[in-house]
A and B are shown apart, each in its own frame.
Chain A
Amino acid sequence: MKGVTNPSVASTTSFFEINSFRWTGAEYSKLETSSTTLTVTPTAGALSNESLSLAGTVVGSFSALTVELTTTHTIPKDGKVAITFPKWNPFAGQERFYESIVSASTSPGEVSCDPVSGLTATKLFCVYTRGSSEDTVEVLFNDLLTSDVPAGATISFKIHNVRAPPSTTPLAGFSFRTYATSGSEYLIDETVPGTVLQVAATTPAIGSPARVEVTASETSINRESTLTIRIQNLNPLPARSNLQLTIPDNFDFSKVDKASTLGASLDPNPAFTFDALTGTLSITAFNLGYLQPLEFIYINVGPVTNPDKSEQSKTFTVTLQDNNGSEVEGISDGIYFTPTAGGFNSVGLEVSDDTVSEESVVYTFTLHPEDVFTKDAILKVTLPPQLTMAGLSSLKNPSS
């Protein structure tokens, strides 16, 4: 039969009722009745032009998310839009580690949201619900609209306190649905299956130099040592993430041929390359499993020769990347190492005259330093207070 108009909501209908009759000559007499199992389930319409745009694009930062979509069918003014959010860190792989993209103190709990365009409302009411593997934000019109959202309308609204992805790899897994909510709840339109909706952070986070520490197996200037760099990640890292570390050129790193890691879930002997021109250590797949924020990552690299001066080195730099090679966070300043001063293998002293209070005494020092003194070096000798200068080249002995 032709010309039927389908129901207005995408839910299974109640039953069709079918009866057959024979004509007795005076009236119709029922022959049989259909079983009461015949239903149809219309499908939802397809949303289109869906987009998600974050105001803040720094990895892990919170900002407003602007959502836009075009309806196929009318949304009643008491209807709603439901947005399914993936978990912020779906690569964690375990529910206990999952974090939500939307910041909300309770679940279900209200989150701040505003209409932007296409909605005849000055405010909206949004509710966040945490799920086991994904979360939902419902934009409830609640008769806050003065009219229905018509078919084919493009609407947009903002949801506040939404976190940018934990790396510069786009985060996919969003989907939208529109509903009528009169009496029961009925699906109207939805994201076409297979549509990839994602948000992206384009700027890596800036890590804190306070969460990086550099130590050396030998701390003195000019000593050959193995460096240990302790890093605490601000953002979570998926298994098999990558790390880059640059050693400042105060060090002689021309002999570096070893790198290893130490820490929970880390590969103790990861694959690495070292660029002896730039002092850049690149370690791939350094962690065997998921790393929560603020884990301790220890990197050993060597051998290097410590700087030749007991002053603060130039900065090390650290970059963390996810397992796609997309940057997560980096620190480009504020990571220093200050070697300690060298020493003397032996020190000798001869005195030309050891009589008390004798003046014009020549003290002869014989020094065997561990380190080479450059031509501009300054040798500083601190005399005990009992000795006094008797001239530019002689001393006066103590009086007792």
Chain B
Amino acid sequence: MDNSEIMSTDVTYTFTLNFENDVPSGGKIMIRFPAEFENAFAVTGCEAIDGLSQTGVISCNYLSSVRILTVDGGFPNLLKQVTF
């Protein structure tokens, strides 16, 4: 998080995940945000940082009503630890 204050907008969240099982091409990950993010939850874009087969902007979409973000770009992963 680059701005931790409550109700801050346009905050960038960075996730680092350690996989036991590689995600193959065509796979995806889904992240469900906690309920505290409420319906204001929104994501304007995703960017690969490390460990993914794509660099830069990767495909992701979200459903604000259930606070679920789906990342389906960048797979297969190249490393067990990926950051985006």
Contact = CB atoms under 8 A, between A and B. Distances in A.
A and B interact physically: yes
Interface of A: 1-11, 13-23, 28, 31-32, 34, 39-45, 73, 188
B43 A13 contact: no
Contacts of A10: 6
A4 B9 CA distance: 6
A6 B17 contact: no
Contact of A7 (B3, B29, B36, B71): B36
A18 B31 CA distance: 4
Contact of A22 (B13, B15, B23, B44): B23
A20 B21 contact: yes
A4 B37 contact: yes
Contact of B36 (A14, A17, A20): A14
Nearest to B45: A2
Interface string B49-61: 0000000000010
A23 B27 contact: yes
Interface of B: 1, 3-15, 17, 19-21, 23-24, 26-38, 40-47, 60, 69, 71, 84
A5 B37 contact: yes
Contacts of B24: 22-23
A157 B11 CA distance: 35
A2 B47 contact: yes
B40 A5 contact: yes
Q: Tell me the interface secondary structure of chain A in the complex.
A: loop
A278 B83 CA distance: 79
Contacts, number: 141
Contact of B7 (A5, A19, A21, A34): A5
B7 A73 contact: yes
A31 B32 contact: no
A31 B27 contact: yes
Give the interface centre of A6, A17, A44 by most chain B CB atoms within 10 Å: A6
A32 B27 CA distance: 12
Contact of B11 (A5, A13, A28): A5
A16 B43 CA distance: 15
Contact of A13 (B3, B20, B36, B84): B36
A39 B34 CA distance: 8
Contacts of B84: 1
Given A5-B42, A7-B36, A14-B36, A43 B29 contact: no
A73 B15 CA distance: 27
A22 B45 contact: no
Nearest to A22: B27
Given A6-B5, A13-B34, A14-B35, A1 B19 contact: no
Given A5-B9, A16-B33, A23 B26 contact: yes
A45 B42 CA distance: 21
Nearest to A30: B30
26 contacts: A1-B14, A1-B47, A1-B60, A1-B84, A2-B10, A3-B42, A3-B43, A4-B11, A4-B13, A5-B7, A5-B11, A5-B37, A7-B6, A7-B36, A16-B33, A17-B31, A17-B32, A18-B17, A19-B30, A20-B27, A23-B26, A23-B28, A32-B21, A34-B17, A40-B4, A45-B6
A5 B41 contact: yes
Contact of B38 (A7, A15, A28): A7
A19 B9 CA distance: 26
Given A6-B7, A40-B4, 6 more contacts: A1-B69, A5-B10, A7-B36, A23-B26, A23-B28, A32-B20
Contact of A9 (B17, B23, B36, B71): B36
B21 A21 contact: no
A6 B31 contact: no
Given A22-B26, A45-B6, A188-B6, A7 B37 contact: yes
Contact of B5 (A14, A20, A43): A43
Contacts of B33: 4, 16
A2 B43 contact: yes
Give the interface centre of B6, B24, B27, B71 by most chain A CB atoms within 10 Å: B6
A31 B24 CA distance: 10
